[in-house]
Amino acid sequence: MEQFVGQIMPYFTVAIFLGGVTWRIWRWMIPRIVHNITLSPFPGTWTAAVTWWVWQIAIFWNILKFDRALWIGAFPFHAALIAIIGGHLMGIYTLGLQFHMIAPLLVTADLSVWLSDLLGTTMGLVFLVALLYLLYRRFTVEKVRAISSTSDFLHLFLLLGIAGLGNYMRLAPDAHMTYLEARTFLTGLFTFNPVALPHNAFFMWHFLLVQCLMIIFPFSKLMHVFGFFWMRWMVNRPYKEWAPGMPGAKVQLSK
Amino acid sequence: MSTETAKGLRQPKRANEALFRTLGVEPVPDDKKVAEAVRHLDEFRQKLRSFVVIMENCVKCGLCAENCHTYLGTKDPNNIPAGRADLIRKAYKRYFTPQGRLFGPLVGAEELTLETLEKWYSYFYQCSECRRCSHTCPFGLDTAEITMVGRQILFWLGIGPQLHTATAGAILKTGNHMGLTKAGIIDTLEFLAEEIEEDYEGLKVDLPVDKPESDILYVPSSADFMLNPNTLKGAGMFFKWVGANWTISSRITEAGNFGYLMDQTRIQREMVTRLYEECTKLGIKKIVWGECGHGWRATKMYVRTYSDLPGVETIPLTHIHDEAAALIESGQLKLDPTRNSKRITLHDPCNYVRACGHCDQMRVIMRAVTTNFVEMTPNRERNFCCGGGSGILFDDPAMYEYRILASNKKAEQVRETGAEVLCAPCSICKAQLYPMVKEHKLGVEVVGLIDLVGHALVFPEE
C-alpha cells in the first residue's frame, strides 16, 4: 500500500491530472464563440477587460458586492489555498528559507523558518475554518442545498480530510514532519528515482487524498480555476460602437 | 404531448403542430423527443463555446439565486439560474462527460426524460434572459445562453408557446410581430400625424413609409403602432426637428425579434436579412433603431454574425437614444424640460444596460427632457428585469399570475422612488409594466423615453 501510494500512483496521478486538464480545455476550444455576448458596460480596450478580470480574481468583487455572506467564506478559503500551495512549493523546496532567500539582509535564516511555520500554521487554520463555514452553508442555506449534488459535498469533505491531516501534522508533535523529510521524498519522485514514504501514516493519507483530488480535478467543477478565464474571455471584451450622427439631416453634430 | 406529464408545472399555452409546420418544423413524436433533444445538445456542445463553458464550470455557490427576479418572485429552486441551467446540465453530464457516465446521480448526472423536457418548457419560459445572473456570477456564467439553447431545442421538437410561435409566424408573413400590413401601417401613421398636428399647434410631421432615396431607416417596434403610439410620435417629431431624410420600411416594421427569443436560426436570420435587403432597396445610409430591448440586442450584437449581406459592415447601426443623446450633449437640441415636470423614474431595460451599453445615453436624455428625475435602486447594469423580458407576456391565468410574481421586485423598486411616471424605453417592458402597475396598484403612468423627447422638443415655429 505505502509503496503504491508513494512510489507508483503519483506518476499516474500527475499524468491523469495534466492530461485531463489539457483534454478538458481542448474540449472548450473546439466550439466557437458564435456571437458577441460581451456584457455591458463594455470595456473600451483589452487592457481594461483584463484589468476587470484581475480585479474579480484579486478580491472576488462580484461575490463581495452581491453576496457578502458567501464572500466571508469564499475569499479567505481561496486566499489561504493559494498561500498553502505556494507555501508547500517554497517551504519544502527551500526548507523554510524562502524569506531569507528573498530578502537576505532583512530576514535571517532562523527567522525565515519561523515565519514559514507561522504562515503555514495560520493559513492552514484559516483554510480549515473557511472550509467548515462553506460546508455549513451548503448544508443549511436552503437555496444552496437545493442546487447541490452529492459530489458538491464530497469535494468539501475531501478538502476537509486533506486540510485536517495537514493541520494535525503541523500541530501534533507526534505526527510532525520536517521539511527535509518531505523534500527527500518528493525529490525522489521528481527525479524518477522514488524513495519510500516517510514513516508517518498521517502523511501517507494526506498524500493519498491530495492525489485523489488531483485525479478528480479534471472531471469536476474544480476546473472553474480555468473556466473563469474562458468565460470572462467571452463576456468581458471590448466592443466598438458605430458613431452617432445622421447622414443627410439638416442638424449635424457639431464636433 | 400528454397533459399528465405537465401536471403541477406552470406552462404557457402551446402552439399547435400546424403552426410549427408553417415555420419549417415537423413536430417530433413523443417517443423520439428525448433522443432528438440529446442529438441537438450534442450539436450545441460542438458548436457553441459559451454553452460548453457554462455547462462545465458552475460551482453551485448559489449567489445567483437572490440576484434573479424569478427566484425572488417564486422561491422555486428551478428558478435559481444555476438550478434552471441544471435542467440541461444534468443531461449534459450524463451523456457527454466521463464522470456523469460512470457515477450518474452522485455527480448530478441524470437521464433526459419527457418529464424533464416538460420542465424545460416550463422554466425556460419563466427565464427572461435578462443576464443579471451573468452580471453577478463570479465567473460571468450566462444562464441566458442556456435558456436560448433550451428554447431552440424545444422549438425544433415542436414545443413552443402560442404567443412566441404565432409571433414568429407573423414575421414571415408581414415582417412584424403584430401582423400589420403596409396599408395598416400607413393608415396608423397618417392618424398619428393628425394627432401630432392637433396636440402641437398645427405641427406638421411627415411619417413616411418605404420612401425611396431615404438616408435613414428607422425601425420602430410594431407594438408602438398599437400600444405605445407616443413613442412613434416622439420619434417622428425628433426626425422632423433634425430634418432627417428618413423612412420606415413596411417589410421590416419591427424593432423586436422573436426569432432571437425562440428560434435563433431561421427566424432571427430572416429579420436581419430583411433589414439589409431593405437598406439596399431604399438607398439607406444609416439604420436607427427604435425602443425595444431584446430586439436591439438581437440586432446590434448579432447582425455581424447572422447576416450574409455585406451591408452589415458598411451601413452604420445606432439606436435612436444614441442619436438623441449625442445631439443633447453637443447642445444642439432645443428642449423644454418643464413640459415633463412630474416626478419620474427610469426602468433600465435589461438588454440595453447589460448587453448593449446604454446606461449613459438614457440618463443624458432623461436629465435634458425632464425636471424631476429620480433613480430607482438598484439601477443601470444592476437593475432588475421587469418580469416580462424575452417576451414572456403570457395571458393564460397561470402564466399571468407568474408575470405578476416576477414583477414583485420591480414594483418594490418603483414604489420606493415615489415616482408618478415610470419611463421604460422598451416595448416588452411597457407591455409587462402596464399590467404590473395595475396589479400592484402603483398608480404610475408608463411612458417611453423618446416620447418625452418629442414632447419636450421646441420647434422654431412655436
pLDDT grade for B5, boundaries at 50, 70 and 90: very low
Q: Which residues contact B37 (CB under 8 A, 6 or more apart)?
A: B91, B112, B117, B153, B157
Average pLDDT value for residue range A159-175: 95
Are the Cβ atoms of B62 and A244 closer than 8 angstroms? no
The answer to whether residue A217 sits within a structural domain is yes
Q: A174 and chain B: CB distance < 8 Å anywhere?
A: no
pLDDT of residue B4: 41
CB contact under 8 A, A219 and B57: no
Over the stretch A20-67, which tens digit does the pLDDT of each residue have? Answer: 999 999 999 999 999 999 999 999 999 999 999 999 999 999 999 999
Mean predicted confidence (pLDDT) in B167-171:
91
Q: Cβ of A69 under 8 Å from any chain B Cβ?
A: no
Please count the other Cβ atoms lying within 10 Å of the Cβ belonging to residue B13: 13
> Quick one: angle between helices A109-140 and A68-94, nearest 10?
150
Q: Which of A24, A31, A250 sits opposite B242 (nearest CB)?
A: A250
Backbone angles phi, psi at B69, to 5 degrees: -65, -25
Distance of alpha carbon A218 from the chain centroid: 13
Mean pLDDT of chain B: 94
pLDDT at residue number B328: 96
Chain B residues with CB-CB distance to A135 below 8 A = none
- For residue B399, give the nearest of B170, B164, B169, B224 by alpha carbon: B164
Which residues, in sequence order, are bridge partners of residue B447? B423
Q: What interhelical angle do B49-57 and A224-235 show, nearest 10?
A: 140
Give the model's confidence band at A254: pLDDT under 50 very low, under 70 low, under 90 confident, else very high.
Answer: confident
- Given a cut of 80, whether residue A163 has pLDDT beyond it is yes
Q: Does domain B168-325 have CATH number 1.20.1050?
A: yes
Separation in Å, CA of A173 to nearest CA in chain B: 37
- Contact criterion met (CB < 8 Å) for A149 and B108: yes
Choose, out of B47, B49, B459, the residue to mutate when testing the contact with A (most A CBs < 10 Å).
B49
State the smallest CA–CA distance between residue A113 and chain B in angstroms: 36
Residue in A228, A230, A242 closest to B316 by CB? A242
CB contact under 8 Å between A149 and B107, yes or no, is: yes
| B347: helix, strand or coil | coil
Sign of CA dihedral B325, B326, B328, B332: negative
Structural domain boundaries, residue A140: 2-31+68-187+197-225
Look up residue A54 and give its three cell numbers. 484581475
Checking if the pLDDT of B88 tops 70, the result is: yes
Which CATH number does the domain housing residue A20 bear? Answer: 1.20.950.20
Do A129 and A163 form a contact (C-beta atoms < 8 A)?
A: no
- Number of structural domains found in chain A: 1
Secondary element (H or E) of residue B365? helix B359-369
Question: Where are the CATH 3.40.50 domain residues in chain B?
Answer: 334-456
Instruction: State residue B3's pLDDT score.
Output: 40
Binning pLDDT at 50, 70 and 90, where does residue B1 land?
A: very low
What is the DSSP-derived secondary structure letter of residue B310?
Answer: T
CB contact under 8 A, A248 and B45: no
B329: closest chain A residue by CA: A253
Contact A247 B215 (CB under 8 A): yes
Express each pLDDT in B170-229 by its tens digit. Answer: 998 898 999 999 999 999 999 999 999 999 989 999 999 999 999 999 999 999 999 999
Q: Where in chain B is the domain with CATH 1.10.1060?
A: 17-160
Considering only CB atoms, A223 lies closest to which of B47, B57, B305, namely B57
Percent of chain B with pLDDT over 90: 90
Number of Cβ atoms within 10 Å of the Cβ of A83: 17
Cell of B55: 455547462
**CB proximity A28 to B under 8 Å:** yes
Bridge partners of B318, per DSSP, are B288
The three cell numbers locating residue A207: 498524500
Residues of B in contact with A42 (CB under 8 A): 357
Asked if B285 and A243 come within 8 Å (Cβ–Cβ), the reply is no
How confident is the model over A145-170, as a mean pLDDT?
96
Residue A58 near chain B (CB below 8 Å)? no
Cell matching residue B245: 431624410
How many Cβ pairs within 8 Å bridge chains A and B? 221
**Mean pLDDT value of segment A230-242:** 95
* pLDDT of B2 above 90: no
Q: Are A62 and B137 inside 8 Å of each other by CB?
A: yes
B345 DSSP β-pair partners? B374, B422
Indicate yes or no: CB of B50 within 8 angstroms of CB of A234.
yes
Distances (CA, A) of B58 to A226, B72, B139: 12, 20, 8
Q: Which of B405, B435, B392 is nearest to B123 (CA)?
A: B392
Of B108, B318, B325, the CB nearest to A151: B108
pLDDT band at B462 (very low <50, low <70, confident <90, very high): low
Burial class from Cβ neighbours inside 10 Å (0-12, 13-18, 19+) for residue A255 reads exposed
- The answer to whether residue A68 neighbours chain B at the CB level (below 8 Å) is no
Q: Is the pLDDT of residue B460 over 90?
A: no
Please give the full DSSP string across A76-118, using - where no structure is assigned: HHHHHHHHHHHHHHHHHHHTT-HHHHH-TTTS-HHHHHHHHHH
Q: Which grid cell sits at A114?
A: 519561523
DSSP, residue by residue, A205-222: HHHHHHHHHHHHGGGSGG
Residue A247 near chain B (CB below 8 Å): yes
pLDDT given for residue A87 in this prediction: 94
Q: Residues with Cβ < 8 Å from B11, sequence gap 6 or more?
A: B118, B121, B122, B125, B398, B399
Q: Which residue of A has its CA nearest to B139?
A: A228
Rounded-to-integer distance, Cα A68 and Cα B303, Å: 39
Distance from CA of A191 to the nearest CA of B (A): 32
**Grid cell digits, residue A164:** 485536517
A249 in B contact zone (CB under 8 Å): yes
Q: Tell me what percent of chain B is helix, strand and coil, each rounded to the nearest 5.
A: 55, 5, 35
Option in B59, B65, B326 nearest A143 (CB) = B65
Which residues lie closer than 8 Å to B16 by C-beta, 6 or more apart?
B162
Q: What is the rounded CA–CA span in Å between residue B76 and residue B82? A: 12
Per residue in B331-358, pLDDT (tens digit) is 999 999 999 999 999 999 999 999 999 9
Distance from CA of A95 to the nearest CA of B (A): 35
As annotated, the residues of chain B forming the CATH 1.20.1050 domain(s) are 168-325
Element housing B388 (H / E): none
The dotted CATH code for B334-456 is 3.40.50
Which CATH number is correct for B17-160, 1.10.1060, 3.30.70, 1.10.3470, 1.10.150? 1.10.1060
pLDDT value, residue B8: 83
Q: Is residue A144 part of a domain?
A: yes
Q: How many angstroms separate the CA atoms of A179 and B438, rounded?
A: 71
Dihedral sign for Cα atoms in the order B7, B106, B33, A24: positive
The pLDDT-based confidence of B397 (bands split at 50, 70, 90) is confident
Which chain A residue shows the shortest CA-CA distance from B323?
A244
Mutate to test the interface with B, among A60, A149, A222, A250 (most CBs of B within 10 A): A149
User: Are residues B48 and A34, on separate chains, in Cβ contact within 8 Å?
Assistant: yes
User: Residue B351: its chain A contacts at CB < 8 A?
Assistant: none
